[in-house]
Amino acid sequence: MTADESGASNDFQTANAGEAKMDRNESNAELLERKNEKDTDFRMSSGDVISVSERLVSLKKSIPDCFARKPRGLREIERWKATEFRQFALYTGKVVLKGVLQDHLYEHFLSFSTALCILVNPELTKSQGPYANQLLKFFVERGWELYGETFLVYNVHSLLHLAEDAQNFGSLDRCSAFKFESYLHRMKKMVRSVKNVLAQVANRLEETSKSKIENKKSVMSFKCPNNAFVLSPEHCCEVVSEEVDNMVLCRVYTNLQPYLMTLRNIHG
């Protein structure tokens, strides 16, 4: 090979390498542009965040005392406790996100919320467990399409096994760590020194079990929002007034939306 041919070959290789680099840069730019477009498709605007936050705060007066915490706005989401995320996923989320999220994003959230509502109920877990599993599988697969690969973290993958766990143990609440987490602060108060911590906790627990605790009879409330009760997975009732012979007058709902809209109009 002559010097001219060698130089031409090097120039050709350099040109090919340059073109390949340009192609890669263009491809990366296109991917980045598509990613940015995708990000803007699902990100909530500041106005939407404010709207959802206002709705959450307006629900405070409608949340009964059986919930440990009242709703807080999305601006404080970094300080939300696990029970607040549970409340949002099961109850308030489907109310406050409706009309704010785009329809396909709202339906995606509903698939997650509906699956959880099934799996926290022992009866529905038995009868509708496979359907809940299908909903969670759809939630994970559709989430990848909507939000990209960053959506597929370990916790999201774990959702694929959630229905199986609920069916094995009876329901999600029967294999939940909420009770243990809630009891930690009580156990901390049982420790009075750095020595023999486990023995101190065991002694305090034994003392508590031996002590007589007065059982107070619960009184039915007729005041909103503590006058609502779940009768079955499909029905709930609102106590309206007390009747004679220990009977109460109730308004029974098979569709919760009118009741929730009534509360929203009262406290909104």
Distance CA 172, CA 164 (A): 10
CA distance 200 to 46: 50
Query: Which pLDDT score is estimated for 204?
Result: 85
Residue 226: per-residue pLDDT: 78
Report CA 160 to chain centroid distance, whole Å. 15
Note the pTM of the prediction, 2 decimals.
0.65
Using alpha carbons only, what angle is made at residue 91 by residues 183 and 261, rounded to the nearest 5 degrees? 140
Question: What's the confidence (pLDDT) of residue 233?
Answer: 62
Cα separation, 194 vs 191, in Å, equals 8
pLDDT at 236: 78
Residue 91's H or E segment, with its range, is: none
pLDDT score, position 29: 47
Tens-digit pLDDT profile for the chain (268 aa)?
555 555 545 554 554 545 544 454 454 445 444 444 455 567 889 999 999 999 999 998 888 887 888 999 999 999 998 889 999 999 999 999 999 999 999 999 999 999 999 999 999 999 999 999 999 999 999 999 999 989 999 999 999 999 999 999 999 988 887 777 777 778 888 888 888 888 988 888 888 776 544 444 556 667 777 777 777 766 778 888 776 677 778 888 877 665 555 555 544 4
* pLDDT, tens digit (0-9, with 9 covering 90-100), for 63-80: 888 788 899 999 999 999
The closest alpha carbon to 98, from 113, 84, 120, belongs to: 113
Percent of the chain with pLDDT over 90: 41
Q: What is the pLDDT of residue 168?
A: 93
Tokens of 13: 């290789």
pLDDT in tens, 21-59: 445 445 444 544 444 445 556 788 999 999 999 999 999
Enumerate residues 6+ apart whose C-beta is below 8 A from 128.
118
d(CA 66, CA 80): 18
Joined together, the tokens standing for residue 2 give: 């002559």
